[in-house]
Structure 1
Amino acid sequence: MDKFDLKQVTKLEWTAIGAGILAFIASFLPWFSFDAGIISSSVTAWGVGIGGWGPVLLLIACAAVVLAPHFGKQVPNAPLIWLAASGAALLIILLRWITLPSSGVGTGLGTGLDAGAGFGLFLGLIIAAVSVAGAIVNFLATRKTV
C-alpha cells in the first residue's frame, strides 16, 4: 500500500471527499419534519427510506472512488463513476423531496398540520449539486487530457 499524501489530493477531488463527509453529517439532520399542534417530530435520511440514505451512500462511495488511487488502488473510469453516482444522488434527493408529504396533503387532518422537507434534505441537495459540479469539471478535464 502506498503512503497517503494529503498534498497529492487535488481541489476537485476534495469536492468529492468533502461531499461524502458532509452528506454523512447531513444525513443525521431532519430530512422530513411535521408539526400537528402538540405533536411534532422529524426524521433523518436514515428514516425516510432509500430516497434518503441511498444518495448519502452514493456520495460516500464517490469519495471512496476518488480516494482509492491515493491508496494505491486504481479505479477504471473513476471520473465517470463519480459523475454518474453523484448525478444519481442528486436525482434521488430531488425525487425524495417531490414525493414527501406536505402540509395537509393526503393527511386528512386539515389545516393544523405543518409538514415538509427538513433542513437536512436541503443541505443534502446542495451537497449533491456541488459534487455533481465538481464531477462535471473533473470529467471534462480528464477527457481533454486523454
Structure 2
Amino acid sequence: MNLRALTRGDAAVAGGAVLLFIASFLPYWSVDCGNSRYCTSTNAWSTALFPVLPSIYLLGIAAAVLILVQRFQGPAAANRQVLGLRLDQWGIAFAVAALWTSVWSLGGGGDVAPGLGISAGHSFGAWLGLIALIVVAGAAAAGPLMPALKAPLVTDRPAVPYQGGYPMPGQPGHPGAPGQPQPGQYGYPAQVQDPAFGGQPAPAGYGYPAAGQPAPAPVQDAAVAAPQPTQVAPPQAGAAPAADFQPFWFAVPAPRQLAPKDNPVGAPVGEVVPGTWYLAVEQRGTALVAQLPDGSQGVLADTTGIQRG
C-alpha cells in the first residue's frame, strides 16, 4: 500500500464520503406543526424512511471505498476485474446510481394540512447528502480526465534516511557544499599523479617541466608502463551493479512500474509517479534500483527522461 499514489481526485472522493456519512445522521425529513410540540424530524437511519439509507447514503459510501481500494492496490490490481469491471469502475457506477436516487428522492413535500398549519419537507441532511454525492461522483468520473485531479496529492521530497556510503549533495564532506574547498583552491588536494605509474603530471608539479624548458621524452619501461585502455561494452539491464555508483535522487516524467530486484521480468512490485523524488540506490546497466518511500525497492528499466536531484 503506497499512500503517495493517491491523487487530488482520490482525496475529493474520500472527503465526499466523510461528508455523506455525517449527513446521514442529520435530519432528512422534518414536519412543521407550528407551535405543536408533537411534530419532529427524523434522519436517514429511521426505518420509516427505508430505503433511503441503503440506496443513497450507504451506496455512495461503498462507491468511495471501492475507488480507494483500487487505488491503494496500485498497478498490481490494474487488470483485476469483478464481473467484467474493475473496482474503481464499479465505484463510479455506484456513485452515479446513488446521486440519481438522491435527486429523485427530493421530490414531494409541502403542505400536508394547510388548515391546521402542518407542513412537511426535506431537511438539510437530504441536501447535504446530495452535495456530497455530487462531489463523490464528479471526482470519481472526472479524476482520470482532468490534470488538476490527476496530480499527486503529495509532491514534496520524501524524508527517507540516506543509506548510501557517499555524502549527499549539499552536505558537509561533499565537493560543492557550502564551506567545502573546490579543486584547485587552497585546502583541496591537488590532482598530481606520478609519471612513473602512467599518470600525467600536473602543471608546476613533480616531474613537470618549468616554463621555457623542453619537456623530457617519455621513458618506455615494460615493467611499469600503464596498460592501454580497452573498449568495454556498456552493461545490460541484468548486469552486475556498478562498483563506482553513487546514490542520487531522481524524478520521472511519467508513471513507470518497478520490477522485482531478483526477477526483472516478473510482475510489478511498485510504481514511481511524477512529482515525487525517489532514491536510486544501485545501477544495473541502464536500469536503476529505486527505493520507494515505504522502504521497498524495485528495478526501474526505463530511465529515459529522468531528472536528477
Please indicate the TM-score interval, normalised by the length of the shorter structure.
0.7 to 0.9
1:33-69 alpha-carbon deviations (Å, 9 max, x no partner): 0111313211111222212442111111112112213
1:76-119 alpha-carbon deviations (Å, 9 max, x no partner): 323422221111111111121114xx232xx3463501311100
**Gap regions ≥5 residues in structure 2:** 147-309
Q: Which of the numbers 62, 82, 87 marks the counterpart of 1:78? A: 87
**Gap regions ≥5 residues in structure 1:** 142-146
Range moving further from structure 2, 8-17 or 67-76: 67-76
Aligned residues: 134
Identify the residue that residue 67 of structure 2 maps to in structure 1: 66
2:25 is the counterpart of 1:28: yes
CA contact (8 A) 1:52 1:93 kept: no
2:10 is the counterpart of 1:13: yes
Identify the residue that residue 136 of structure 2 maps to in structure 1: 131
Give the distance between the partners of 1:11 and 1:111, measured in 2 at CA: 51
Range moving further from structure 2, 20-29 or 52-61: 52-61
State the 1:20 CA deviation. Answer: 1.6
2:63 is the counterpart of 1:54: no
**How big is the alpha-carbon RMSD for the aligned residues of Structure 1 and Structure 2?**
2.3
CA contact (8 A) 1:32 1:118 kept: yes
State the 1:71 CA deviation. Answer: 5.0
Give the distance between the partners of 2:91 and 2:116, measured in 1 at CA: 43
**Larger radius of gyration between Structure 1 and Structure 2:** 2
Tell me which amino acid in the other structure corresponds to 2:125.
Answer: G
CA contact (8 A) 2:67 2:92 kept: no
CA contact (8 A) 2:64 2:95 kept: no
Identify the residue that residue 122 of structure 1 maps to in structure 2: 127
Tell me which amino acid in the other structure corresponds to 2:17.
Answer: G
Q: TM-score, normalised to structure 2's length?
A: 0.39
Residues 120 and 126 from structure 1, CA distance in 2 versus in 1: closer, same or farther, beyond 3 angstroms?
same
CA contact (8 A) 1:79 1:139 kept: no
Identify the residue that residue 43 of structure 1 maps to in structure 2: 42
Identify the residue that residue 87 of structure 1 maps to in structure 2: 96
Range moving further from structure 2, 50-59 or 122-131: 50-59
Determine what percentage of the aligned residue pairs are the same residue: 31
